[in-house]
Structure 1
């Protein structure tokens, strides 16, 4: 068996770009193949479920990334609470390329993507809320307030990505993350 010239992780990261730009419905197999540098047959070999399998790989990849770099960092009790939030927000900046990139949960919740990936989208959003809820409780917020802050945080991050893109103004995303930090840390 010949060694793979392109590693699976690299392929998935390239697929992320296509889905972020075009959504599920707009991502053509030709464009997915072109972006990855693979022929369509090679893509099908790696993803026997076709485009849907590629989308699941993208969701899993980004979910694992967020788990490791945002949620686990946010709730790592070996780090001071304020630093955990700062580190997590810095990683959110990386995840969304300082506000330039769309959220895959959002793009997969449009068109036929929602029908196909409803459970993954819902679970992804739940993980965001749970992580920030746990963090809020660790700061000493009462349960209801911690939950409210967590949902508000998700709303603000998602909303700021849409508005940032729509107005072509990256400062909106940055200001939103600063506002989230201020709310939790009472700056």
Structure 2
């Protein structure tokens, strides 16, 4: 078997970049092929379901990274004090969104027909985010109701700050949101 010219991780990062910047509907096969360095036929060979298969692979790749670097940390699957785990997870969130300069992949898949295709993935993903932040809240001695309420606020703050950061072209908005989130958890 001959070696692949394009490594899978590089290919998924490229596909992700196009979907995040263009959205699912507007991402053309030409752009997806160009960013990966593959011809359309090669993309279809790797992704027989076409653009939908590419998007599903991107979602799965991001989900794996987020689970390992954020959810597992917040849920206590990793050793350490909850305060330390919170800080580590927030650092990973900053990395995931490149300091606020990268939009959330859910945004790209939550509009138009893409929502019909990926609604379950998005719903499951958001639920996992809320559950993980609820878990860290409970670990920090919050009541389950308070922890869930704060978790929902945190997800809204993360997503909202990403939008405002993009609109105002100011990554300090996102970075400050993460600092505020840390303070909210550690002040309780």
Deviations 1:100-146 (A, max 9, x none): 00000122101211111111111110110010011111111001100
2 CA distance for matches of 1:75 and 1:125?
15
**1:39 and 2:60 equivalent?**
no
Contact 2:110 2:119 in 1 (8 A): yes
Cα drift, residue 96 of structure 1: 0.2
| Number of residue-to-residue matches in the alignment | 187
Which residue does 1:158 correspond to in 2? Answer: 159
**Paired residue for 1:136?**
137
Q: Structure 2 CA distance, aligned partners of 1:17 and 1:116?
A: 19
Give the C-alpha shift of residue 75 in structure 1. Answer: 2.4
Q: Identify the residue that residue 105 of structure 2 maps to in structure 1.
A: 104
Q: State the distance in 2 between where 1:153 and 1:106 align.
A: 17
Give, in angstroms, the shift of residue 175 of structure 1: 0.7
Partner of 1:149: 150
Give matches, 1:66-105, under 5 Å. Answer: 66-76=66-76, 78-105=79-106
Q: Give the structure 1 partner of residue 178 of structure 2.
A: 177
**DSSP 3-state at the match of 2:23:** helix
The equivalent residue for 1:61 is 61
The residue number in structure 2 matching 1:24 is 24
**CA–CA separation in structure 2 for the residues paired with 1:20 and 1:102:** 6
Gaps of 5+ in 1: none
Secondary structure of 1:152's counterpart equals helix
Q: Which residue of 2 aligns with 1:124?
A: 125
8 Å Cα contact 2:83/2:140 also seen in 1? no
